Amino acid sequence: MARFALPVVAAMIAVLACTSARADVLLIERSRTAQEMDLPRRGESMTSVERRFGTPSQKHAPVGGGSKVQPPITRWDYANFSVYFEHSHVVNAVLRQSNVQEAGVKPVTAQR
């Protein structure tokens, strides 16, 4: 039995290494894409974002806001990215999932 355990373990390690390498490539590709895209910048106002990128496909209601420590956070979804606002200013812009193997924000779906 021990004779077969080593090849099985080696095969499992090889599979995991390949999976990990693929995830690294996706992360690198996503990072390059984000750097090349014109995304809303930290500190930019909601008005400025809407002027530059148009009306988002969806505006989510603010969450939080119960105290200074937890300010209201609002999310706007565009086709390729989401923008997160604290009060009325950008805190982050995130690219949407580019393929089904990538972990992260899911693509915008039509609301009915």
Confidence of residue 20 (pLDDT cuts 50, 70, 90): very low
pTM for the model: 0.62
Which residue, chain included where needed, has tokens 């999976």?
19
Contact present, 81 and 108 (Cβ < 8 Å): no
**Type of residue found at 67:** S
* Sign of torsion over alpha carbons 80, 51, 54, 44: positive
Confidence of residue 31 (pLDDT cuts 50, 70, 90): low
pLDDT in tens, 46-101: 999 999 999 999 999 999 888 888 899 999 999 889 999 999 999 999 887 665 55
Domain boundaries, the chain: 2-95
Q: Residue 86: enclosing H or E segment and its boundaries? A: strand 81-86
**Contact in structure between 96 and 103 (CB atoms under 8 Å):** no
